[in-house]
Amino acid sequence: MAKDHCRPTKDEVRLIMNNELSLDIDFEIVIGFLDETSDMLAEINQQFIEWEQNPGNLEIVNSIFRPFHSIKGSAPFFGLHKLKTLAHEMESVLALARKGNLHVTPEAINTLLSGLDEINLIVSRVRNRKAEIEDNSIFDSLVEKIKNLSTEASSSWDDLFGRLTDLKTRLGENEEVKNAINIAIDSIDKISKNFKTNEVSNEKQKENLEKIEEKSLSSPQDNSTAKNAENSAKTMRIKEERLDVFLSYVGELLTVGEMLNQIQRTMALMSTNDKLAYDLQRCLESFHNLSQELQTAIMEIRKVSIKSLTQKVPRLIRDIAAANEKSIEVKITGEEIEIDKSLLELLDAPLTHMARNAADHGIESPEIRKAAGKNPAGKIALSIVESEKFIELYIEDDGAGLNYPAIQKKAEALGLITAGQNLTEKELIDFMFMAGVSTAQKVTDVSGRGVGMDAVKKKIESSGGVISVKTTQGKGTLFGIKVKKSVTTEIISGFIVKADTTCYVIPLDRINDTFKRQEEDVTHILDTDDCISRNGEILPLLTLSKLLGKNQNQLEENQPVVTLCSGETKIALAVDEIVGISKFVLKPIDLVGVETNLLQGGALMGDGTVALVLNTDRLCRNSI
């Protein structure tokens, strides 16, 4: 039998776990625990930032406390003792905070965030079949630093009394645990009176208290928790590739539906049996409706909360602000929106770069802002907007705006333009997205190397999205990203058009409108380029047959014209015929010749032939 390279051997598990008890644990179970841990900690970064801004909010503290308590209890079963140790120390500090015995400072939050980062690193290492810790001395130093927060905050006996009293209040009618608490309170009272400095006894009482807290956290008397658990939706984990395979079958169903449509149309022309044709049409309508519902259902399954992407932004901006001695407020709207999972990876790097740029380049120092009559604290707003076909993401800052002189100077230094060349704002913004162009005064861990924004633009545009920038000197900058709701789904709706006698498909989400060409609307520029007036706009007029090297006859009166849009760019495309609208499965194909840059794949037609799909974004860019 061939060795399964995806599954670690027992020796590998021994190396990871470093514990004999864990040798027989199925690694898939370990992965399940790691996934649950990642899920529990997903929102903690943002919650720490919220807690720093609202130190008295005990609800936030409790939300942060629970995951660490759970991890501490489960990690030893998998032999992850370093993880257990770190989670335990984090829990101890948070337990003090729940009693109001922790002074919440930026330094304390920094230490706790470092602990959270290390837990995430441990999860990542174990997932990749590595040992929990790379450097024990660094780990021990971090644990000691976190432990010191507890030492500094704790007033031993008062803390124990406070924790026990709080437990007694919270447990309601649980007489068994309340009796245990009363015994513990009496014991502590006697010890504190006779042995004020006896830390050994104090630690023993803390151990007993932790056991009581363990019981209280799982107590059936916590009605709100039980109710939430009862009402929460049941979930299961499914590998993404399985969903993709299922979705591809849905696409094939749509193709079969188009083939059946073709048969139905042929029968309608040839058959004299009207009832048979009518019954077939009704069956086809039901088939299409069910196929559509199936496609919608599978797309809903693929959706995840965009919060898993945006929740890292406050921490990212906070760290940059702290490193540069800035004060920045972050506001996020639209986090309730769910997006296709494929968009998480697509938007991750662009969002990170834009957030960094806003915090590092956009927001000025408090001194500069104050001198300009601004609030010393800058503001960065992240908003997500969902439309019928697109997801739009915007990051806006109230900083200084883009530094046009610095961008031009950098472009001149790189030889992209000649010195003193007059450039429009749009051209300067375009230079900002070129490799090597950075206006940072110095190279840091955050910026200054001239990489990032060019990669951001390429990644977004390669997926059919657009990136936009609007800036006002002294008032701030708005970066926007607009992408299709799904970049992996290969089911598209499109216009079937003809160039000469060949069918082509234009994606429906790039079509603005259609109209008939009228000679009086056409204008000529430099005797070569045609333009056409449409709804008060002058648009470049291209001819599909000419672009594809086919029949190059002169445009005729009333010839069909399709208005295409990509971002803020619009063009008019004259075609020989508009055949209709349909759904297609987009197929990758090898292209050669003049058509290569104008096409993005093929679509299987109802009659079994393949129509080529136009790359409308590239058409629009090339027309400028």
Q: pLDDT tens across 581-600, in order?
A: 888 877 777 766 556 678 88
Q: What are phi and psi of 178, to 5 degrees?
A: -60, -40
Q: Are 311 and 385 in contact (CB under 8 A)?
A: no
Q: Are 101 and 154 in contact (CB under 8 A)?
A: yes
145 or 249, greater pLDDT: 145
Q: Percent of the chain beyond pLDDT 90?
A: 24
Residue 431 contacts by C-beta under 8 Å, 6 or more apart in sequence? 407, 408, 410, 411, 416, 417, 423, 437
Q: CA-to-CA distance for 73 and 570, rounded, in angstroms?
A: 59
E-strand spans in 436-536?
466-472, 476-484, 491-499, 502-507, 511-516, 522-525, 529-534
Q: Are 331 and 379 in contact (CB under 8 A)?
A: yes
550 or 551, greater pLDDT: 550
pLDDT confidence of residue 200: 45
Q: Which of 127-136, 246-255, 533-542, 554-563 is least confident?
A: 246-255
The fold of the 305-484 domain, in CATH, is Heat Shock Protein 90 (3.30.565)
pLDDT grade for 320, boundaries at 50, 70 and 90? very high
Does the pLDDT of residue 310 top 80, yes or no?
Answer: yes
Q: What is the pTM of this model?
A: 0.68
Q: CA-to-CA distance for 272 and 287, rounded, in angstroms?
A: 24
Q: pLDDT tens across 246-259, in order?
A: 877 887 787 788 78
Q: Tokens 């594809």 — which residue?
A: 548
Q: pLDDT tens across 89-134, in order?
A: 999 999 888 887 888 888 999 999 999 999 999 999 998 888 888 8
Among residues 370, 368, 394, 397, the alpha carbon closest in space to that of 383 is found at: 394
Does the pLDDT of residue 176 top 80, yes or no?
Answer: no
Supply 175's token pair. Answer: 């007489």
pLDDT grade for 20, boundaries at 50, 70 and 90? very low
Three-state DSSP at 226 gives: helix
Among residues 524, 617, 506, 523, the alpha carbon closest in space to that of 570 is found at: 617
Q: Tokens 């720490």 — which residue?
A: 48
Supply 591's token pair. Answer: 């292209």
Among residues 569, 469, 577, the alpha carbon closest in space to that of 512 is found at: 569
Q: What is the DSSP string of 328-346?
A: EEEEEE-TT-EEETHHHHH
What is the average per-residue pLDDT within 217-246? Answer: 58
Q: CA-to-CA distance for 397 and 409, rounded, in angstroms?
A: 24
Q: Which of 209-223, 245-259, 432-446 is least confident?
A: 209-223
Does the pLDDT of residue 19 top 50, yes or no?
Answer: no
Does the pLDDT of residue 29 top 90, yes or no?
Answer: no
Q: Are 450 and 441 in contact (CB under 8 A)?
A: no
Q: Are 545 and 552 in contact (CB under 8 A)?
A: yes
pLDDT confidence of residue 198: 45
Q: CA-to-CA distance for 534 and 543, rounded, in angstroms?
A: 16
Domain residue ranges in the chain? 10-231, 240-302, 305-484, 491-623
Q: Which of 89-98, 254-263, 278-287, 468-477 is least confident?
A: 254-263
Does the pLDDT of residue 282 top 90, yes or no?
Answer: no
Q: CA-to-CA distance for 466 and 567, rounded, in angstroms?
A: 6
pLDDT grade for 450, boundaries at 50, 70 and 90? very low
Q: What angle do CA 197, 203, 206 make, to 5 degrees?
A: 125
CATH code: domain 491-623 is: 2.40.50.180
Q: Which of 281-295, 397-411, 429-443, 500-514 is least confident?
A: 429-443
CA 465 to chain centre: 15
pLDDT grade for 199, boundaries at 50, 70 and 90? very low
What is the average per-residue pLDDT within 538-565? Answer: 84
CATH among 3.40.50.2300, 3.40.50.2000, 1.20.120.160, 3.40.50.300 for 10-231 = 1.20.120.160
Tell me if domain 10-231 and domain 305-484 are identical in fold: no
Q: Are 563 and 511 in contact (CB under 8 A)?
A: yes
pLDDT confidence of residue 162: 56
Q: Are 352 and 316 in contact (CB under 8 A)?
A: yes
Q: CA-to-CA distance for 314 and 355, rounded, in angstroms?
A: 9
pLDDT confidence of residue 195: 47
Q: CA-to-CA distance for 117 and 114, rounded, in angstroms?
A: 5
